[in-house]
A and B are shown apart, each in its own frame.
Chain A
Amino acid sequence: MTGARGAVRVPWWRDNSLTLVFGVLLLGALAGQALSGAGAYNQSARTAGYAEVGVLEYLASSQFAVDVAENWQSEFLQFTLYIVLTVWLVQCGSAESKQLRDAGRGEDQVQLVGVAARPDSPRWARAGGWRTRVYSHSLSVAMGAVFLASWIVQALTGCVAANEERMRDRLDPVSLWEYLCQPDFWNRTLQNWQSELLAIGTMAAFTIYLRERGSPESKPVGAPHAWTGSQS
């Protein structure tokens, strides 16, 4: 999107710099993970005397897929939970929270739906009925769907990756259902969940007392600790 501020035309990349930078960082991190992951995989293969793989072959492997998916599912779970729980739960003084009196789904006037919709509101917000109800939850549904899809991919590829190691160690392979009861699946899952829950909980609590000047994730530097969210 290209925006215009007053007479000055703002280039599209400036208006979308946050998404663009995170996109570039994501690709860089994925490339680094692919290179380092292939290196680690090949070290293990050399130890066992097996064939080494190229980076492209590693990218198509279950080992790479499970490492990616286990992190993705936890990130999307984190945001899904945060989006949904912050509808009702509050943290007094946090920049990430609504005030207690605002807890809940909110009035139509505040949400700009139904008769309160603006002419430039999204079409499904103006439509009313089931379309507005669906659109009212589209963010959590989309994030939750990506979480579930990533978790399923983690289970499928984790099963293949675990079986590769099990058979290398002269153990019987396990079925997908057996794998879902294995410590490996839950260890991969829960070690990611705990770190995400720690990070998001810390973020909510730290913003009560700490500030980052200019960041929308922080209250203004001089805001009292008791100010909550948009009150600032």
Chain B
Amino acid sequence: MRRHPLALWHGRARTRLLRVLVVIVGGLTVATASGCGTEAEGRAAAAVALRFSQVGQADPGQACSLLSERARTALHGSAGSDCAAGLAALAVPVSSRVLTVTAAGHSAQVRLDRDTVFLGRFANGWQVTAAACKRASADPAVPYECDISGG
């Protein structure tokens, strides 16, 4: 009788193999459903975004420390001065509360009551990569236009 490869999956061998598959698929599902720490990461990103918004005008020096290196550099270049002076000139919208947070892998978006902030997760934690952002188009494929942007 001709044997098909699937015929090898009989009895205990097939049960063991299916068990392994179920464990792997189940593990992936659980890991995804739990967000792999996405909720905690979201809270951390939201805290940085809100802090940045609240000190952006009052303490630009501290706000600069919450920016990614590339965002700091971009600000420095556009202002022709240091980061704090460039930030002070932009008048970052001051927000008081977080509306929504989405964190996925190394990226996050935090919608505040007066701004939309994008963040990246770097070696030393979440940092603001773009702020003072406005929707540029109704087309969801067109990116936000941001006064502060880099990295």
Contacts and interface: CB of A to CB of B under 8 A. Distances in A.
Contacts of A74: none
Interface string B1-29: 11111101101110001100110011011
Interface residues of A, number: 49
B106 interface: yes
Interface stretch (A3-11, A128-136, A170-178, A186-194): A170-178
B54 interface: no
Contacts of B106: 45, 48, 50-51, 164, 168
A170 B145 CA distance: 8
A-B residue pairs, 10 tightest by C-beta: A164-B105, A167-B107, A170-B143, A163-B104, A49-B151, A164-B104, A173-B102, A156-B32, A149-B25, A51-B123
Interface residues of B, number: 49
Nearest to B29: A153
B40 interface: no
Interface in A147-170: 149-150, 152-153, 156-157, 160-161, 163-170
A68 interface: yes
Interface of A: 1, 16, 18-19, 45, 48-51, 60-63, 65, 68-69, 72, 79, 83, 95, 122, 139, 142, 146, 149-150, 152-153, 156-157, 160-161, 163-174, 216-217, 229-230, 232
B41 to A, nearest CB: 11
A171 B141 contact: yes
Interface of B: 1-6, 8-9, 11-13, 17-18, 21-22, 25-26, 28-29, 31-33, 35-36, 38, 68-70, 102, 104-109, 118, 120-123, 130, 133, 140-141, 143-144, 146, 149, 151
B137 to A, nearest CB: 11
